[in-house]
C-alpha cells in the first residue's frame, strides 16, 4: 500500500468520528460480541459454556471497528477508489448498529417482542425515525459526514442492484459467502474458544 493510500485510509476513519462518537454507536461498547454465550457471563449459574476459554469476546463496538477495517482493507485490495473504501468502512461501522442487548443470542426474542427486525431497526436508526429516542439515531452524524443515504441503504440490501462499477463490486463483496462480518466473527470466536480459524 502506498503512503498516500495509508493517509487516505486514516483520513476516512477520522471522518467517521461523528458516527463513532454518537450515543447510538457508543452503546455497542456495552454489548458483548457473543451475547449470553460470552465468557463475561460464565459465572452465572447454568451458563451454557462449561469449559475454560482463552480470551474475552469483546464488544459489538470493537467487532464493528474490526469489520470496518477489514471491509476497507478488502476494498482497498481490490483497488477501489477512496470514496468506495469510505462506504465499505461505513458499512462495517453500521452493520451491527441495531444489535439488541445480549447480541444476536437475544435478537429473535427482542425482534419478536418489538415486532421490529434488526435490519428494520438499523434503517430506522440511520434515517433518524421519530419513533426512536434521539440517542438511538445516527442520522445527524451521517448527514454531517455527507453520506448518500440511498447508496448506503442499497449496500445493506442484498436484493438491490447497485449498478455496475466499483459500488457493484463492493456490494458483491459485502454480500458474498464470506463477508467481512463473517470473517471477523469467525476469527474472534475462534480466538475466544482457543480454536484455529
Average pLDDT over residues 162-178: 94
Cα dihedral 149, 150, 153, 159 in deg (nearest 10): -170
pLDDT of residue 68: 95
- Residue 139: strand, helix, or coil: helix
> Which of 34-38, 96-100, 110-114 is most confident?
96-100
pLDDT of residue 106: 64
For residue 111, is pLDDT > 90?
no
Cα dihedral 185, 191, 192, 197 in deg (nearest 10): 60
197 lies in a domain?
A: no
Average pLDDT over residues 115-129: 88
Count other Cβ atoms within 10 Å, centred on residue 124: 18
Write out the E strands in the chain: none
Q: Kindly report the pTM of this predicted structure.
A: 0.86
18 lies in a domain?
A: yes
Average pLDDT over residues 4-29: 84
Nearest one of 31, 30, 56, 29 to 42, comparing CA atoms = 56
Q: How many domains does the chain have?
A: 1
136 lies in a domain?
A: yes
Average pLDDT over residues 114-137: 90
For residue 1, is pLDDT > 50?
no
43 burial level (CB within 10 Å; 0-12, 13-18, 19+): exposed
185 lies in a domain?
A: yes
Q: Which residue has the cell 438491490?
A: 160
Nearest one of 21, 83, 84, 69 to 181, comparing CA atoms = 69
Q: 18 or 50: which carries more pLDDT confidence?
A: 18
CATH number at residue 56: 1.10.3210.10
Q: Phi, psi at residue 184, to the nearest 5°? A: -65, -40
100 lies in a domain?
A: yes
* pLDDT band, very low/low/confident/very high, at 13 (cuts 50, 70, 90): confident
Name the residue range of residue 124's domain.
3-192
Q: What cell does 82 get?
A: 477512496
Amino acid at each position: 500500500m502506498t503512503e498516500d493510500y495509508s493517509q487516505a485510509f486514516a483520513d476516512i476513519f477520522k471522518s467517521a468520528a461523528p458516527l463513532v462518537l454518537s450515543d447510538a454507536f457508543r452503546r455497542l461498547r456495552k454489548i458483548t460480541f457473543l451475547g449470553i454465550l460470552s465468557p463475561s457471563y460464565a459465572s452465572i449459574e447454568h451458563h451454557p459454556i462449561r469449559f475454560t476459554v482463552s480470551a474475552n469476546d469483546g464488544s459489538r463496538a470493537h467487532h464493528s471497528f474490526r469489520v470496518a477495517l477489514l471491509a476497507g482493507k478488502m476494498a482497498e485490495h481490490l483497488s477501489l477508489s477512496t470514496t468506495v473504501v469510505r462506504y465499505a468502512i461505513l458499512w462495517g461501522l453500521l452493520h451491527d448498529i441495531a444489535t439488541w442487548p445480549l447480541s444476536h443470542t437475544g435478537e429473535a426474542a427482542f425482534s419478536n417482542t418489538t415486532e421490529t427486525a434488526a435490519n428494520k431497526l438499523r434503517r430506522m436508526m440511520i434515517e433518524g425515525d421519530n419513533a426512536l429516542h434521539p440517542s438511538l439515531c445516527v442520522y445527524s452524524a451521517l448527514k454531517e459526514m455527507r453520506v448518500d443515504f440511498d447508496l448506503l441503504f442499497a449496500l445493506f440490501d442484498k436484493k438491490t442492484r447497485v449498478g455496475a462499477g466499483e459500488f457493484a463490486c463492493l456490494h458483491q463483496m459485502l454480500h458474498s459467502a464470506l463477508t467481512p462480518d463473517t470473517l471477523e466473527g469467525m476469527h474472534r470466536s475462534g480466538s475466544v474458544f482457543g480454536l484455529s480459524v
